[in-house]
């Protein structure tokens, strides 16, 4: 009787909830743009992050999904029961509005797993000084780890520290306020599934992760953006996923993913659990199946940037696998392949390639294993580029509008948002926590925040805007300790 009551409660609840790359070029080198739904059941946080985290926002019901509510309730309960032995139930709950009576609430289960050539605009003002670009270091002989393999648990690299935060100075308190005003302003203007492609939807959700919404359906209601894409609902008529011989695949090309592994990399950056459900018609999969697809499709001398971001996050540091053409792979081989490819002249100035290497370095550091072989090479490479990026920084705090090519100051606001946003994003990912309040980083954050505040909620190119907002969201998380999944609740209080 108790079980029946619980099942009915979830079924009724789901009747009122929404069913529930990285950037790159689409058809050409320009940043063009596509996107579904499922109840947000699990997220991939460390327990330090998940403890006390508010449930992700769940919007109004979407009519086309009502036919699946009963099975959704059943699946939701299966996931909940399966995860109870090792994952904490949130103590905090979120009331659900709609057709339910007042008092009905949903308790979300969060994962506590711990392991784990752009045609740029012309520059109107530049300086002549040149700075030597970091050189690619000779490959070191691969060393055999002397530590036992780690468990296959995803790692959350951006978890807030448990120790009590130090009191903020007036300057930093004002910066926090301004960052949150910018983020809150753009959060209130979600994309439209009828007008925006999956590529655009992915970039719009990047700053807000599980909180991100998208407008969908004939009644133009807001639903969870990650859920919408993962249930393979159309964005401007395009769907991201397909199946072949019973296996899940993700499309790459115009309007969908600009790069292989792009969507999975964004799920990693949004802390989405491997157990999160993906649907293609009547077939059910999970993020785990998407991980397997990206592993199987690794190819030498190809762009592996976004696979490196995603697989560094989701796989154990010493994972090994075979691609579907029979080749052996591990994270070290991905690192080697990426370092041997250029940084200058590739998509988004090479910032995503550097982000992938930073993810790998952070994963190795988290594991406690020594930096040897390709790991040591990547660590040195990232540190060299950090120093190089600071040397190219402009006096106003912005980063070079010529990416890593040399010094550059373009007065065009969108160009500044594009370059400083991307460069700041990778610097926040790659720098140690204690260096995020370095005056040079603070100056860059202040510049980007002020620039975006000056134009209100002006809609820039979706790619540059998404990465600039993501840089501010990362800084808010890592320096001001805002936990992922809280933005909806925080905005509701204002």
pLDDT value for 276? 96
Tell me, what's the pLDDT at 368? 96
User: What sign results for the dihedral spanned by CA atoms 117, 118, 119, 124?
Assistant: negative
Percent of the chain, pLDDT > 90?
A: 63
**Tens digits of residue pLDDT in 291-350:** 999 999 999 999 999 999 999 999 999 999 999 999 999 999 999 999 999 999 998 999
The answer to whether the CB of 243 falls within 8 A of the CB of 237 is no
First-last CA distance in the chain: 42
The Cα 305–Cα 289 span in angstroms is 19
Mean pLDDT of each 10-residue bin along the chain, 494 residues long: 44 40 38 34 37 31 34 47 35 29 29 38 39 51 30 34 71 97 94 96 95 90 95 97 97 95 97 96 97 98 97 98 98 98 94 98 97 98 98 97 96 96 98 97 98 96 97 97 81 69
Q: Domain range for residue 197?
A: 2-493
Indicate the DSSP class of residue 217. Answer: T
pLDDT value of position 242 = 97
Cα–Cα distance, 328 to 233 (Å, whole number)? 35
Number of domains in the chain: 1
By C-alpha distance, which of 385, 468, 383, 399 is closest to 432?
383
d(CA 54, CA 50): 8
pLDDT at residue number 304: 98
What local confidence, expressed as pLDDT, does residue 92 receive?
31
The pair of structure tokens assigned to 328 is 């052996």
CB atoms within 10 A of CB 361: 23
Other CB atoms within a 10 A radius of the CB of residue 460 amount to 18
Q: What angle do CA 414, 416, 421 make, to 5 degrees?
A: 100
- Residue 49 near residue 293 (C-beta atoms within 8 A): no
* pLDDT tens string 231-260: 999 999 999 999 999 999 999 999 999 999
Predicted local distance difference test score (pLDDT) of residue 218: 81
In DSSP terms, 74 is beta-bridged to none
pLDDT at res. 396: 97
425-476, pLDDT tens digit by residue? 999 999 999 999 999 999 999 999 999 999 999 999 999 999 999 999 999 9
Q: State residue 165's pLDDT score.
A: 67
Cβ–Cβ < 8 Å for 293, 250? yes
The confidence score (pLDDT) of residue 164 equals 59
């Amino acid at each position: 009787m108790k079980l029946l009551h619980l099942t009915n409660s979830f079924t009724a609840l789901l009747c009122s909830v929404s069913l529930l790359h990285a950037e790159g070029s689409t058809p050409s080198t320009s940043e063009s743009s596509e996107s579904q739904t499922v109840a947000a059941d699990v997220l991939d946080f460390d327990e330090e992050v998940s403890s006390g985290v508010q449930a992700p926002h769940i919007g109004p019901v979407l009519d086309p999904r009502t036919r699946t509510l009963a099975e959704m309730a059943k699946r939701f309960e299966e996931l909940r029961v399966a995860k109870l032995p090792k994952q904490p139930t949130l103590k905090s709950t979120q009331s659900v509005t709609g057709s339910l009576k007042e008092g009905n609430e949903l308790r979300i289960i969060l994962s506590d797993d711990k392991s784990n050539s752009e045609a740029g605009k012309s520059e109107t003002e530049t300086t002549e000084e040149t700075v030597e670009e970091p050189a690619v270091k000779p490959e070191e002989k691969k060393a055999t780890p002397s530590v036992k393999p780690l468990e296959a648990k995803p790692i959350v690299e951006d978890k807030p520290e448990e120790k009590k935060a130090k009191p903020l100075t007036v300057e930093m308190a004002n910066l926090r306020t301004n960052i949150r005003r910018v983020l809150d302003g753009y959060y209130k203007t979600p994309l439209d599934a009828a007008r925006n492609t999956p590529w655009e939807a992915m970039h719009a959700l990047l700053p807000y992760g599980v909180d991100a919404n998208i407008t969908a359906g004939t009644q133009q209601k807001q639903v969870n953006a990650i859920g919408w894409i993962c249930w393979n609902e159309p964005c401007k008529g395009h769907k991201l996923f397909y199946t072949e011989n019973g296996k899940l695949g993700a499309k790459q090309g115009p309007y969908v993913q600009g790069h292989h592994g792009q969507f999975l990399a964004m799920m990693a950056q949004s802390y989405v659990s491997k157990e999160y459900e993906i649907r293609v018609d009547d077939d059910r999969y999970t993020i785990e199946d998407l991980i397997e697809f990206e592993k199987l499709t690794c190819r030498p001398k190809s762009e592996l940037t976004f696979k490196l971001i995603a697989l560094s996050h989701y796989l154990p540091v010493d994972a090994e696998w075979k691609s579907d053409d029979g080749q052996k792979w591990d994270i070290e081989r991905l690192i080697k392949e990426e370092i041997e490819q250029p940084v200058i002249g590739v998509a988004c100035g090479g910032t995503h390639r550097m982000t992938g290497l930073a993810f790998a370095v952070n994963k190795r550091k988290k594991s406690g294993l020594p930096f040897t072989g390709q790991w040591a090479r990547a660590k040195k490479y990232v540190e060299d580029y950090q120093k190089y990026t600071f040397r190219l920084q402009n006096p106003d705090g912005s980063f070079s509008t010529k990416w890593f090519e040399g010094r550059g100051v373009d007065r065009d606001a969108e160009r500044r948002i594009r370059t400083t946003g991307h460069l700041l994003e990778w610097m926040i990912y790659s720098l140690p926590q204690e260096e995020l309040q370095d005056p040079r980083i603070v100056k860059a954050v202040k510049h980007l925040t002020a620039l975006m505040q000056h134009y209100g909620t002006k809609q820039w190119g979706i790619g540059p805007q998404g990465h600039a907002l993501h840089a501010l969201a990362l800084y808010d998380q890592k320096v001001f300790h805002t936990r992922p999944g809280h933005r909806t609740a925080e905005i509701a209080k204002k």
